[in-house]
Chains A and B, each alone.
Chain A
Amino acid sequence: MSDDEQQDSEIVGQSEAAESEIDAALESTVAVSEDEGTGFRPLGLDLAGGNQLAAKRRPTVLILAGEVETGKTSIYAALYERFGRGPFAGRLFAGSETIPGFEKRCHGWRMQSGDHDPLMEHTALADLHWLHMRIRDSERQRDLQDLLFVDYNGEIFADIASGSSSENDRTFLRRGDHVGVVLDGGKLCDPTQRQAALQRASYLVDELMNPGVLADPKALFVLISKFDLLAAANEEQRNAAEQVAVRVSELINERVDTHDAPILRVAARSETDLFPLGHGLSELLDLMTERPALYVMNGPPSVPVSDAFTGFTA
């Protein structure tokens, strides 16, 4: 076996391992029914719902990993809210099995929630974490694509970064086709919080890079959330903030051959009119749709023609 073939084989092996762990990953999700929920149409997918979806289609899984209140939920909500206003980034909304979940998450941004500044409710540990969305390119040249978003409470990622989570608690990470390390743009442009944010992100990257935590470290990318706050800062603070994001990307690249972890900049719901709703989500969608899943990126294994088959065709 050549070096290339060996590498391919290893990568395929990793992907197959990731596939086989889907059940374990979903089982690690605590299935909690919510009293205020809609019962039959849940506010997110639980174990059974996630398994059912994975059995029907092979969804592309996005995990946004970041501390509490870094804006992870806002990103998912903004994507849905943006589609609620028409086709977005050359794509069409094609359905969702978790519309009530998106609706609840978008509520604090809407007039129906009252007269106040837009706000996003904190994701509770007991919430149902898996959100589903189906999209398609506007030209309808490609097949429908199912996306599964993992909306976990930030405390889970804090535990992972500190090494205090169990292996079982981390199994969902192996399911991620795309895993974004989320940096809070507001903290990055605050000199009193910047270095601490970098340090905590580096701890998280360290843990994520440990063997077996992710299906493939090439799933990693960096995402600056609340980019509107960063953009509103002075040039010096902006540059310093960008350097933190670059450093986190380097931390990933240094340990993954031929990988250049992209840096995305997202203002999900800008606090000023500087950015439109969902600024930067177009690039996130590109990332998910241009390289939908690890198994696609890695390609199928080469299948040698068996002797029996050769004999049969002869």
Chain B
Amino acid sequence: MSEIQRSVMMVGLPESGKSTFLGALYYLLRNARDERLALREEPSERQYLQELEDKWLRYKPFERSQHPGAKLIELALGGSELGEFSLAIPDISGETYSHLWEDGVWSESVGDLARDNEGLIVFLHPETLKKPELIDVKKEKKGEGDWIPWSPELSPTQAVLCDLLETIEEKRQASLPRIAVVISAWDAVVELGLEPERWLELEVPLLWQMLHAQADARQFKCFGISAQGGDVADEKTRLKLAQDKDPLERIINGPGAHGLLDPLLWLLGS
């Protein structure tokens, strides 16, 4: 009997935390640390995953993914909640999404994934958010000589993500599936004491409205997750995090979440 094939699509602009999430997730699944879901066998294509895992284990900052399009990743998974299945969870570079917004060009593999996935994980990094800041009418201006013409890459993150969701919906020719919004680097905002969805509402309001307005037709849920546990570009933080005996201990979860698996389990659950 052939195995059940399932797939999710990770959506996010450059440096939004997709690859970091994947590196930590692979370590978690491979070490069978959560009975809800674990790896049943080594993936045949695992070099890329091992590279991500290695970076994560060495507390290294993840640079922008350089690969064009999607890195195909298939994981044979099994666990107490979802049974056994094969999960396709390609790592699509943020640049690919940037180009999609700027040029509207779909690569064949990404287009196929947009059509066929059964859940989206949308990644947002609080520290790389671009916000729509208005010119202050009260402030005296320097002059009129420095007009910067509009180009798509100047647009705020919320506009780009809303448009990507519209684009994916159009590609599917059907309504969007469940959407898990992962606010990565949750450590950077944990002091605000907000629920992840409230953070989204306040910081990325256009996206929150778009999801909330149609929440009766398509479900969404927000998760605050810091897979690194802190800013690993800072040497002191790196050393502090490395004192934990178990690398998984450094992961910080927002209110209501229990770990890295939560977005996946929610997307794929009944």
Residues of A within 8 A of B (CB): 36, 38-41, 81, 83-87, 92-97, 99-100, 102-104, 106-107, 109-118, 134-136, 140, 144, 269-273, 277
Contact string against A for B residues 78-113, beta-carbon threshold 8 Å, 1 for contact and 0 otherwise: 000000000000000000000011111110000000
Instruction: Give the chain B neighbours of A136 by CB distance below 8 A.
Output: 213-214
Cβ of B194 to closest chain A Cβ, rounded Å:
15
Contact partner, B156, options A84, A97, A113, Cβ 8 Å: A84
Q: Mark B155-184, 1 if CB is under 8 A from A, else 0.
A: 110110011011100100000000000000
**B137 touches which one: A112, A134, A271 (CB < 8 A)?**
A271
Whether the pair A100, B152 counts as a contact (CB closer than 8 A) is yes
Interface string of B125-148 (1 = CB under 8 A from A): 000000011110110011110111
CB distance from A157 to the nearest CB of B (A): 25
How many residue pairs link A and B with beta carbons under 8 A? The number is 137
Most buried by B among A87, A97, A99, A272: A99
Residue of A nearest to B217 (CB): A144
Q: In whole angstroms, what is the CA distance A72 to B114 when docked? A: 37
Is B166 a contact partner of A103 (Cβ separation < 8 A)? no
List residues of chain B with CB within 8 A of the CB of A140.
213, 215-216
Q: Tell which of B100, B133, B134, B141 has the most Cβ of chain A within 10 Å.
A: B134
Whether B132 contacts A117 by the Cβ 8 Å rule is: no
Whether the Cβ atoms of B152 and A103 lie closer than 8 Å is: yes
Residues of B within 8 A of A117 (CB): 135, 137, 141, 144
B141 touches A112 (CB 8 A): no
Q: Does B205 contact A (CB under 8 A)?
A: yes
What's the nearest-Cβ distance from chain A to residue B151, in Å?
A: 7
Q: How far apart are B198's CB and chain A's nearest CB, in angstroms? A: 12
Q: Which of B158, B163, B205, B215 contacts A41 (CB 8 A)?
A: B163
Chain B proximity of A33: nearest CB distance (Å) = 11
- Chain A: which residue is nearest B202 at the CB level? A86
The answer on a CB contact under 8 Å between A39 and B104 is yes
Distance to closest chain A CB from B54 (angstroms): 37
Q: How large is the interface on B (under 10, 10 to 19, 20 to 34, 35 or more residues)?
A: 35 or more
- Considering only CB atoms, which chain A residue lies closest to B133 in the complex? A111
Q: Is the CB of A103 within 8 A of B213?
A: no
A112 and B104 form a contact (CB under 8 A):
no
* Contacts A38-B101, A81-B132; A100 near B163 (Cβ below 8 A): yes
**Chain A residues near B152 (CB, 8 Å)?**
38, 100, 103
Q: Across the interface, do B135 and A95 meet the contact criterion of CB distance under 8 Å?
A: no
- B212 on the interface (CB 8 Å rule)? yes
29 contacts between A and B (CB under 8 A): A39-B103, A39-B105, A81-B134, A83-B206, A84-B158, A84-B159, A85-B205, A92-B212, A93-B209, A95-B166, A96-B162, A96-B166, A99-B159, A99-B163, A100-B101, A100-B152, A102-B159, A103-B150, A106-B132, A109-B135, A110-B134, A111-B133, A112-B133, A112-B148, A115-B143, A116-B146, A117-B144, A140-B213, A272-B137
**In the complex the two chains form, what is the Cα distance from A38 to B167 in whole Å?**
12
**Residue of A81, A83, A110, A136 with most partner-chain B CB within 10 A:** A110
* A112-B134 contact given A87-B209, A94-B213, CB 8 Å threshold: no
Interface residues of chain B, those whose CB is within 8 Å of chain A, are 100-106, 132-135, 137-138, 141-144, 146-152, 154-156, 158-159, 162-163, 165-167, 170, 201-202, 205-206, 209-210, 212-216
Task: List A contacts of B154 (CB < 8 A).
Answer: 107, 112-113
* Residues of B contacting A115 in the complex (Cβ-Cβ under 8 angstroms): 141-143, 146
Partner of B134, one of A86, A99, A104, A277: A277
Chain A minimum-CB-distance residue to B210: A95
Q: How far is the CB of B134 from the nearest CB of chain A, in Å?
A: 6
B159 cross-chain contacts in A, Cβ below 8 A: 84, 99, 102-103
B134 touches A114 (CB 8 A): no
Q: Report Cα–Cα, A270/B138, bound state, in Å.
A: 11
How far does the Cβ of B156 sit from chain A's closest Cβ, in whole Å?
7
Chain A minimum-CB-distance residue to B148 = A114
Q: Which residues of B contact A110 (CB under 8 A)?
A: 132-135
B164 → A minimal CB distance (Å): 9
Q: Assess A113 versus B150: contact at CB under 8 Å? Given A84-B205, A96-B166.
A: yes
Nearest neighbor of A41 in chain B, beta-carbon distance: B104
Chain B residues, Cβ within 8 Å of A134: 213
Given contacts A109-B134, A116-B146, A135-B213, 9 further A-B contacts (CB under 8 A): A40-B100, A87-B205, A95-B162, A103-B152, A110-B133, A115-B141, A116-B147, A134-B213, A273-B138
- Our pick among A38, A94, A114 for the contact of B209 (Cβ within 8 Å) is A94
Instruction: State how many angstroms separate the Cβ of B120 from the closest Cβ of chain A.
Output: 15
The answer to whether A118 touches B146 (Cβ under 8 A) is: no
**From B131, which residue of chain A is reached at the shortest CB distance?**
A84
Alpha-carbon gap, A41 to B150, bound state (A): 15
Whether A94 lies near B214 (C-beta < 8 A) is yes
